[in-house]
Amino acid sequence: MQNQLSPRRRFVKAAMNAPYLERDEERALAQRWRDHGDDAALHRLTHAHMRLVIAIAARFRHFGLPMSDLIQEGHVGLLEAAARFEPEREVRFSTYATWWIRASIQDYILRNWSIVRGGTSSTQKALFFNLRRLRARLGQGVSPMPEQQMYSEIAAAVGVSEDDVALMDSRLSAPDSSLNAPMLESETGGAERQDFLVSDAPLQDETVGAALDSEKRSLRLQAALQVLNERELRIVRARRLSEEGATLESLGHALGISKERVRQIESRALEKLRSALLAEAGADADAAFV
C-alpha cells in the first residue's frame, strides 16, 4: 500500500500545482479584494502565490527552524502584501509580495532563533542574515584569510563595527545552552551549568540592608548638623563631607583665619556632632559617623 503524504507535503504539492494568474486576472482579483473585501478573490490571489512563499522560506531553512513555521510566517507576509497592494501601479503582485514575505520570515527567525534578542537595527539584521554567506565567500581563496581581516571586510560590506561582526559570529557559531543543562557527571558529579556561575556581588538582603542603614545614618547626620553654627558647618562640610576634602590652609585663607584656628573649630564641631548623635541614636552612632 502506497504511503500517504504528510500534511505538509500535501500542502506543498497543492501549492506547486496551483495555476498561475495572468496579469489582468491578478489585477482584477486584487481590486475585488481591496474594494469589496471579496474573500474568494483573496484566496485565489494568495493560493496562486504560495509557491513563492515556499521558495523564499526554503532559503532560510539553514537557520534550524521548522520549515512549516517558516512557510506559515511567509503566508502572514503574503496576506500583508495583499492588504497593501495597489493594482493601479502596474506592478506584478509577486514582485510586491516578495519583500513582505521575506520580511515576515526574517522577523520570525530573529524572534525565535535565540532567546537573546538580536538584530534590532537594520544593519544588525543585515549582518545576521548575510554573515555566513560573506564569510563563505571570503574563505574561498587558496589560503585561509586571517580572522581579523575577514571581520574587517565583512564590517565594511555591511556597515557595522568589527566588534559587532565578532559578536554576531560567536552567537551564530553555537546554539543557546540552558543553565539547567547537566555537565559531564564524571567531572562534576552531575552538577548543572548554573552551579558554576559565581557572582562577587552581595546578596539582595545585604544590599537592601546596607541601603537602609545608609539612609538612617544620613538622616541622623543631617539632624545633628543643625547644632553647628554657620562657620563650623562650612568647615565640616568642606573637610569631612566632600569628596576632595579641603585643606586647613585653604579654608583658613577663605575664612581669613589661621589654619590652626580652622583645626580648633573643626575639632570643636566634631565633638558637638558626636554629642548630638549619641544623644539621638546611642553609642553606635559615634562609630558609624567616625
| 138-151 tens-digit pLDDT | 777 667 778 788 88
Q: What is the mean pLDDT of residues 198-211?
A: 83
pLDDT, position 194: 76
pLDDT at 2 over 60: no
pLDDT, position 285: 42
pLDDT, position 48: 93
pLDDT at 29 over 90: yes
Contact 244, 252 (CB under 8 A): no
Q: How confident is the model at residue 26 (pLDDT cuts 50, 70, 90)?
A: very high
pLDDT, position 186: 54
pLDDT, position 287: 46
Q: What is the mean pLDDT of residues 79-100?
A: 93
Cα separations in angstroms, 107 against 101, 163, 241, 253? 10, 23, 54, 68
Q: Is this structure's pTM higher than 0.85? A: no
pLDDT, position 1: 39
Q: How confident is the model at residue 93 (pLDDT cuts 50, 70, 90)?
A: very high
- In whole numbers, what is the pLDDT of the chain averaged over residues? 82
Q: How confident is the model at residue 63 (pLDDT cuts 50, 70, 90)?
A: confident
pLDDT, position 288: 47
pLDDT, position 80: 95
Look up residue 252 and give its three cell numbers.
583658613
Could you tell me which CATH number the domain at 1-113 has? Answer: 1.20.120.1810
| 270-281 tens-digit pLDDT | 998 888 888 876
Q: How confident is the model at residue 117 (pLDDT cuts 50, 70, 90)?
A: low
**Topology annotation, domain 206-289:** Arc Repressor Mutant, subunit A (1.10.10)
Q: What is the mean pLDDT of residues 167-171?
A: 74
Every domain of the chain and the residues it spans: 1-113, 118-173, 206-289
pLDDT at 115 over 50: yes
84 backbone dihedrals φ, ψ, rounded to 5°: -105, -10
